[in-house]
């Protein structure tokens, strides 16, 4: 036994870099928006000897727990000190905490919609329509305003069910901040109905007015929308939840006139316009209106609120763990962001984040050799590789008469054009020789309740439906095609064998005679 102990000791001593680091365990709580990323990092650093506990209880709860000293760090989409529904969220004592961005992502619009029993995967929405959907202004999917966004779809007259967060949520704060900034009038109107003071601004607690349905947590809203019984529902949730559920997300119209999906690259491009305040909190005004055709308007960061002073339960030993954990996820952990349904942080924010890490008591990260940081967005010239390499959107994603068929989010199936008036387009390479850039507005007057028929401005429709209507035969295969094929076969047989047989039959009596 003694020999064994010696052997073990030798084995361990022979490998000094693999010796345990004796990290102190730390605990945190907060955002479900970024939970899918944080939870994965937490699991991966176990191999570095770290034990991180994290409870995804929502941003509001995370901020409250941090303020009360119950956790070592919090994760939140919004900072302290903001006034929400007339109540100021009082921050902890100055000089005891700092903000650090941890991961970027798109707040996506996950929906459950079918046409003739087939899931729609290529829905597009403009900002105003989204705002009206979530404030009760649009109640049917056949609404002309939705049809205008979707020239390739003829949507059913089904009730729109907006699904919102019922708990205190940073996702709600992000979403309502965007509505307040972009469509303040419509949003304020809704707030007034909910008896909130206006101008309403952002809120973590979404006002719940029927037919809106409230659900708790990001997983709660996603699981509600994905049920078959929830057809017609739509919610706002971080992209990874929709992707994991195998559900599509709406492409959102940006200010350049393109409908864009919140993929990692679109988020990275959009956030190049984010204004980072002195304390690293974000001003997203310019992100919402980013003029780059590739940008997703509802892009944002999630934040860690970390202690920069000892006190309460927090000490230098914990600071050592927290600083190494933070270094891990700002650099290496960002490699996972895209795979998880997020977007990696760009270099300027990683650099600013590492400055915050250096302020943690007991930090191990005093020198900031950023070249060792294995972050996928970094390039030699300091630009964001991800944004630089982001492809231009295809022409079929442009506002107008065409609509791409490709599925979005976690839905891989295409949606075929079911609106005879529009031309579908499968081109994803950004080169579309046939796309018609004419940005012709739909005529609301021409759009009826049951026969939604947007006018396209293209001559193709006036010259008869035959050319664009041919794909109908393709869609037939899905449904009652077998019956038709039988009928056709029988008719073919009759057509071929009919004439000789009939003539023979007609001849026979003559022969008898």
Partner 1 sequence: MIRMVLAALLFVSAVVVWPTDAAAQDSSAVTVSGKGDFAGLEITVAQTRDLINQTVRVSWTGGEETGPVGRFATNYLQIMQCWGDDPAGPAREQCQFGGLEAQSGLGLGNFTKSRQIAYNDPKDPREPTPIPATGAAFTEFHAVTGKKTPSYGEFFDAGTTNEVPFAKTRADGTGEIDFEAQTALEAYGLGCGTVVNNTPRHCWLVVVPRGDKEVNGRRVGVDHTGNNLDSSPLSQSNWENRIAVRLDFRPVGRACPIGVAERPLTGHEFVADAIARWQPALCANGGSVFGFTQVPDGIARDQLGLDEPGMVFTSEPLASPGKPTVYAPVAVSGYAIAFVLERQSRGPEVETDPKVWQRDGQLITSLNLTPRLVAKLLTQSYRDAVPGNQPYLRRNPRRLNEDPDFLAINEEFKVYGALMNALDILAPSADLDATKALWTWINGDTDARAFLDGSPDPFGMVVNQNYRNLALPLPNYPKADLSCKELAFPLGPDCALLSRPLSADLHEGGRAISRGDTLGKLPNGLPDPLDPSKPGYSRSPRQPTGERSLLAVVDTATAQRYGLPAASLRNAAGQFVAPTPEALGAALDQLSPTEVAGVKIANPAGRNVRAYPLPNVTYAAAVPSAMDKAAGAEYAKFLRFASGPGQTLGEADGQLPRGYLPLPDSLRRQAGEAAAVIERDAGIPITTPNDPPPATENVVNNPAPTTNAPANPPQPPAVPPAKPSETPTPKPVAALRDTPSMPVSWLLRHLLAVALIAGGLATVAGPLMSRLSSRVRRGPEEVSQPGP
User: What residues from 396 to 435 belong to the interface with partner 1 (CB under 8 A)?
Assistant: 407, 410-418, 420
Site string for partner 1, 447-466 (x = CB under 8 A): ---xx-------------xx
231 binds partner 1 (CB under 8 A): no
Q: How far is the CB of 5 from partner 1 (least distance, A)?
A: 7
Interface with partner 1 (CB under 8 A), residue from 96, 139, 140, 216: 216
Q: Residue 31 and residue 54: Cα distance in Å, rounded?
A: 10
Residue 467 found at the interface with partner 1 (CB under 8 A): no
Q: Which of residues 72-101 bind partner 1 (CB under 8 A)?
A: 85
Under rule CB under 8 A, residue 389 binds partner 1: no
389, 434, 438, 479: which one binds partner 1 (CB under 8 A): 479
**Residue 395 in contact with residue 435, Cβ under 8 Å?**
yes
Phi, psi of 270 (to 5 degrees): -60, -40
- Return the residue of 25, 81, 86, 430 that touches partner 1, per CB under 8 A: 25
The answer for residues whose C-beta is within 8 angstroms of residue 154's C-beta and 6 or more apart is: 115, 147, 418, 419, 452, 453
Q: Which residue has the tokens 């980072």?
A: 276
Q: Give the single-character DSSP code of 196.
A: -
Among 51, 88, 159, 192, binds partner 1 (CB under 8 A): 51
Our finding on whether 502 is near partner 1 (CB under 8 A) is yes
The answer to whether residue 234 forms part of the interface with partner 1 (CB under 8 A) is no
Is 219 within 8 Å of 241 (Cβ atoms)? Answer: yes
Min dist. Cβ of residue 288 to partner 1 (A): 25
Phi, psi of 461 (to 5 degrees): -75, -40
> Is the distance from CB of 420 to CB of 465 less than 8 angstroms?
yes
C-alpha–C-alpha distance, residues 66 and 48, integer Å: 25
Q: Rule CB under 8 A: is residue 499 a binding residue for partner 1? A: yes
Size of the site for partner 1 (CB under 8 A): 130
Is residue 12 close enough to count as binding partner 1 by CB under 8 A? yes
Output the six-digit token pair for 270. 């959009």
Q: And the tokens for 420?
A: 């005879």
Q: Site for partner 1 (CB under 8 A): which residue of 197, 431, 467, 492?
A: 492
Decide: is 43 part of the binding site for partner 1 (CB under 8 A): yes
Q: What is the DSSP string of 56-80?
A: ---HHHHHHHHHTTSSSEEEESS-T
Q: Is 256 an interacting residue with respect to partner 1 (CB under 8 A)?
A: no
Binding partner 1 (rule: CB under 8 A), the pick from 139, 140, 223, 428 is 223
Span near partner 1 by CB under 8 A; candidates 241-249, 262-270, 275-283, 287-295: 241-249
Q: Residue 316: how many CB atoms within 10 A of its CB?
A: 13
CB of 17 or CB of 433, closer to partner 1:
17
Contacts to partner 1 from residues 266-305, by CB under 8 A: none
Judge whether 350 and 356 are in contact, CB under 8 Å. no
Cβ proximity to partner 1: between 312 and 457 the closer is 312
As a whole number of angstroms, the distance between CA 193 and CA 188 comes to: 9
**What's the first-to-final CA gap in the chain, in angstroms?**
117
Q: Which of residues 307-346 bind partner 1 (CB under 8 A)?
A: 312-315, 317-318, 324, 327-328, 331-332, 335-336, 339-340
Contact residue for partner 1 among 31, 34, 59, 60 (CB under 8 A): 60
Residues 160-199 that bind partner 1 (CB under 8 A): 166-168, 194-195
- Rounded CA-CA distance 176/180 in Å is 6
Least distance in angstroms from the C-beta of 119 to partner 1: 5
Q: Is 508 in the site for partner 1 (CB under 8 A)?
A: yes
| Distance (Å, whole) CA 116 – CA 158 | 12
Residue placing its CB nearer to partner 1 in the complex, 223 or 281: 223
Give all strands (DSSP E) within 405-485, no chain letters.
Answer: 423-425
Q: Which is nearer to partner 1, 182 or 251 (CB)?
A: 251
Burial class (CB in 10 A: 0-12, 13-18, 19+), 487: exposed
Query: How does 193-207 read in b/e, with b if 16+ C-beta sit within 10 Å?
Result: eeebeeebbbbbbbb
**Footprint (CB under 8 A) of partner 1, residues 135-164:** 153-154, 156
Of the two residues 445 and 483, which places its CB atom closer to partner 1 in the complex?
Answer: 483
- Binding segment toward partner 1, per CB under 8 A, in 178-186, 206-214, 278-286, 352-360: 206-214
């Amino acid at each position: 036994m003694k020999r064994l102990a010696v052997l073990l000791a030798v084995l361990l001593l022979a490998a000094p870099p693999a010796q345990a680091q004796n990290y102190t365990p730390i605990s945190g709580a907060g955002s479900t928006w970024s939970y899918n990323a944080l939870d994965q990092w937490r699991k991966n650093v176990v191999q570095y000897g770290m034990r991180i506990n994290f409870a995804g209880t929502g941003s509001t709860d995370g901020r409250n727990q941090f303020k009360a000293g119950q956790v070592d760090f919090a994760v939140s989409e919004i900072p302290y000190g903001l006034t929400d529904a007339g109540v100021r969220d009082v921050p902890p004592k100055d000089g005891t905490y700092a903000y650090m961005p941890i991961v970027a992502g798109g707040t996506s619009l996950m929906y459950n919609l079918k046409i003739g029993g087939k899931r729609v995967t290529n829905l597009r929405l403009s900002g105003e329509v989204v705002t009206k959907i979530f404030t009760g202004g649009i109640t049917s999917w056949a609404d002309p305003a939705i049809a205008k966004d979707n020239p390739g779809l003829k949507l059913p007259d089904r009730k729109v069910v907006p699904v919102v967060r019922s708990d205190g949520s940073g996702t709600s704060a992000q979403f309502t901040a965007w509505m307040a900034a972009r469509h303040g009038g419509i949003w304020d109107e809704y707030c007034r109905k909910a008896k909130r003071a206006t101008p309403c601004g952002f809120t973590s607690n979404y006002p719940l007015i029927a037919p809106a349905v409230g659900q708790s947590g990001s997983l709660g809203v996603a699981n509600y929308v994905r049920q078959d019984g929830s057809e017609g529902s739509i919610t706002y949730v971080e992209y990874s939840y929709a992707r994991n559920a195998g559900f599509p997300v709406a492409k959102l119209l940006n200010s350049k006139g393109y409908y864009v999906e919140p993929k990692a690259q679109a988020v990275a491009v959009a956030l190049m316009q984010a204004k980072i305040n002195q304390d690293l909190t974000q001003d997203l005004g310019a992100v919402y209106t980013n003029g780059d055709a590739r940008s997703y308007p509802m892009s944002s960061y999630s934040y860690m609120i970390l202690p920069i002073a000892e006190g309460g339960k927090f000490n230098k030993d914990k600071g050592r763990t927290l600083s190494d954990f933070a270094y891990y996820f700002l650099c290496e952990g960002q490699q996972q962001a895209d795979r998880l349904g997020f977007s990696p942080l760009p270099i300027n924010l990683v650099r600013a984040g590492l400055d915050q890490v250096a302020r943690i008591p007991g930090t191990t990260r005093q020198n900031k050799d950023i070249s060792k940081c294995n972050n996928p967005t970094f390039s030699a010239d300091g630009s964001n590789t991800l944004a630089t390499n982001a492809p231009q959107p295809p022409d079929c994603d442009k506002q107008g008469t065409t609509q791409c068929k490709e599925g979005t989010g976690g839905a891989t199936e295409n949606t075929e054009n079911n609106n005879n008036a529009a031309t579908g387009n499968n081109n994803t390479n950004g080169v579309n020789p046939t796309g018609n850039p004419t940005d012709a507005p739909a005529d609301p007057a021409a759009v009826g309740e049951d026969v939604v028929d947007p006018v396209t401005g293209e001559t193709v429709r006036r010259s008869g439906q035959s050319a664009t209507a041919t794909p109908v035969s393709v869609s037939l295969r899905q449904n009652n095609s077998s019956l038709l094929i039988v009928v056709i076969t029988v008719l073919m047989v009759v057509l071929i064998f009919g004439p000789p047989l009939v003539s023979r039959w007609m001849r026979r009596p003559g022969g008898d005679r």
